Amino acid sequence: MKGFKFAGIHAGIKKNGLRDLGLIFCDKPATAAALFTKNRVMAAPVILGKETIQKGLCQAVLVNSGNANCFTGGQGLLDARATAALVAKEFDISEDLVMVSSTGVIGAPLPMDRFKSGIPQLKKNIHTDSLEDFAQAILTTDTCQKIVKEKGSIETPQGPKSFSIMGVAKGSGMIRPNMATMLAYVLTDADLTATDLHRALLAANERSFNRITVDGDTSTNDTLLCLASGESGACIREGAGLAVFQDLLEKVCFQLGKMIVKDGEGATKVIQITVRGGKTQADAFKAAEAIAHSNLVKTAIYGEDPNWGRITAAAGRSGALVDPNKMDLYFEKIPLVLKGCWLGQAAEKKAALIMKAPEINIVLDLNLGDKTDGFLFCDFSENYVKINADYRS
C-alpha cells in the first residue's frame, strides 16, 4: 500500500509472549476519518481519539492489545496522551497526528514501562511488508488475523487511475453492531477530502460493521479508522469516482465484518438473516436485529435444529410491525413456514440438512411492505462460555 508502513512486536503487555504492540505509520499526514463506540463507558484512547480526529489528519496509529486502558480514570487519559507523545517524539512528528487504540482487559492501568521500551523497537521494525506483524499485534481472543485487500480504478481527464483499499481488524467477542464493534483500520492510497472520507466511512459502516453481531455486547474501545494517503494519484472528489470508492470501501468493510463473525468466540457457523417485506426500514431492521441477538436462535443453530418458532418469536418481540398469519420463513430456498403455517416434518428434515453447513442463509418475509434489512451473526456454543470464563485467568 503506497504511503504506509507497519510494525508489530511483543512488548511484554501480554504474558503469553505474543505480539502486543503495533504501529501504522504514514509517510506524510494522511486524510483521516473515524467512528467510535457508543458505549458511555469509553476507554481513554477513545476519548483522546475523538479529540485528535477533529483535524481530519493522522500520521501514526499506535495499538496495544492485552490492556483496554478503560475505567482507569484520569490517569488512563494521561497515559494515553503519554503513549501518543512517545510515538511523536520517536518519529519526529506532531503529537496531534498520533491516534492510539487499546484492547484487552478493562480496569488495569497501562504498563507504561512496556511502551517506553517498545515504541523504539517499533521504529526499528517499521517496514512496508510488516502488515501481518501489525495484524497479529492487535489480537486478543481472535484465532486468526483479519486482512482484506482490494483494488479499484476511476476515470480521470488523464485516463484511468488505479487505487487500493486495505483493511485490518480485530474482533471475536464483545461484538454488537452499535457503530463499529471492534478495532478496524482501513487504509487507501486514494486522495479524498476529510469530509468525503467521513461520509463514505459512515455509509460503509452502516452496511457492514453495524450489521454484525457475535454476542450482543458493545465494547468500550470500538474504533473504526480510515486513512487516505493520496499516494496513488487517484484524486476522488465527486460523481462516479466517489461511487466507485464507496462500493470498494463497503466491500472491504463487509469482508472484515464477516471475518469477525466467522471468528466469533466459540463460533462454528455463520448465519445471514435477511428480513424482507417490512412495512418500514425500521421494522426490517428491528426484526433482523432481534433474531441475530437471540441466544435461543443461536443455540438452536449450534445444535443444527431449524427451530423456526424461535425465529418467528424473536421477530414478534422485536418491536417491528408483524402479522404472524402473513410470515414466510426459508432456510436457504427451503420454505418452512408459508403465510404463518408450518409446512410439516418433511420440510423440517430438509431444513435440518442445511443446518449442517458452515454458512447458512435464513430469510423471513413479513409480507407487509417492500423494505429489507439483515444481519450477519454466529451460533452460540459452550466454548463461548469457556473462553469468557477464563479470559482474565
Smallest Cα–Cα separation from 236: which of 248, 254, 225, 224?
A: 248
Spell out the alpha helix ranges (H) of the chain. Answer: 44-52, 73-91, 112-125, 131-137, 194-206, 239-262, 281-293, 295-302, 308-316, 345-354, 382-389
Buried b (16+ CB within 10 A) or exposed e, 351-381: beebbeeeebbbbbbbbbeebbbbbbbbbbb
**Strand duo 21-36 + 57-67: pairing:** antiparallel
Q: How many CB atoms neighbour CB 57 within 10 A?
A: 18
Between CA 366 and CA 376, with CA 370 as vertex, the angle to 5 degrees is 65
What is the 3-state composition of the chain as percent helix, strand, coil, each rounded to the nearest 5?
A: 35, 30, 35
Name the one residue in this structure whose C-alpha cell is 454484525. Answer: 212
What is the DSSP code (8-state) at residue 40? S
Smallest Cα–Cα separation from 177: which of 207, 143, 137?
A: 207
CB 171, CB 142: distance < 8 Å: yes
Name the one residue in this structure whose C-alpha cell is 472491504. Answer: 252
Catalytic annotation, residues? 181
